[in-house]
Amino acid sequence: MKRLLIAASALALAPLAYAAEISVSFSEDFAETLEEDYGTREGEYLSREVAEDIERALTKAGVDAARIDVTIINAKPNKPTFKQLGDKPGLDFGRSLSIGGMKLEADAFSADGTELATLEYGWFENELRNAVGSPTWTDANRASHRFARKLAKALESQSS
């Protein structure tokens, strides 16, 4: 019983961030790239990763927003995607490497529709040797993590 009271007290004192409505979309050019080159399932993966990174960063920072609209402007994989491997049989998933990364932008809004923060961020690796041994979207995921932390920091500065 004592443990339950301690746990309940800790939860009550922890900073609360409610779940923001996070929508992730693609720029027109990137949507075309997904359709023609990378495959639409890659877009679903990237959208999910970006939303999860933002949720995690907001929770960790103890900040919130009612709605966050994110646009993936561009993303590049480190390794060929499933569709690319099917379209170009000469590619080798184990040995074909590329410099990856991602560029995103976001607008965060309060419940009454007031814009709380806006952010544009992009990061692309510049050393091919850093891609050795990386999964398909390693650099894009790194850019997403950094973007999410920067967005949380921007929201923190608005609430101060």
Output the DSSP codes for 26-92: E-HHHHHHIIIII-HHHHHHHHHHHHHHHHHHHHHHT---SEEEEEEEEEE-SS--HHHHHH-TT--
Position 96 scores a pLDDT of 83
Q: 25-68, pLDDT tens digit by residue?
A: 999 999 999 999 999 999 999 999 999 999 999 999 999 899 99
Which of the listed CATH numbers 2.60.40, 3.30.160, 2.40.30, 3.30.1380 matches domain 21-159? 3.30.160
pLDDT of residue 10 exceeding 50, the answer is: no
Output the DSSP codes for 120-153: EEEEE---GGGGTT--TTHHHHHHHHHHHHHHHH
* Eight-state DSSP code of residue 104: E
Position 113 scores a pLDDT of 94
Q: Quickly state the pLDDT bin for 21 (edges 50, 70, 90).
A: very high
Position 93 scores a pLDDT of 81
Output the DSSP codes for 12-24: HHSPP----EEEE
List Cβ neighbours of 123 (8 Å cut-off, separation of 6 or more).
101, 102, 103, 139, 142, 143, 146, 147
Q: Whole-angstrom Cα distance, residue 142 to residue 27?
A: 20
pLDDT of residue 14 exceeding 70, the answer is: no
- Let me know: does 57 contact 122? Beta carbons within 8 Å: no
Q: 58-116, pLDDT tens digit by residue?
A: 999 999 899 999 999 999 999 999 999 999 988 888 788 889 999 999 999 999 999 99
Return the number of other C-beta atoms located less than 10 Å from residue 150's C-beta: 17
Q: Whole-angstrom Cα distance, residue 29 to residue 62?
A: 34
Q: 125-156, pLDDT tens digit by residue?
A: 988 777 666 789 999 999 999 999 999 999 99
Domain ranges of the chain: 21-159
Position 17 scores a pLDDT of 44
pLDDT of residue 5 exceeding 50, the answer is: no
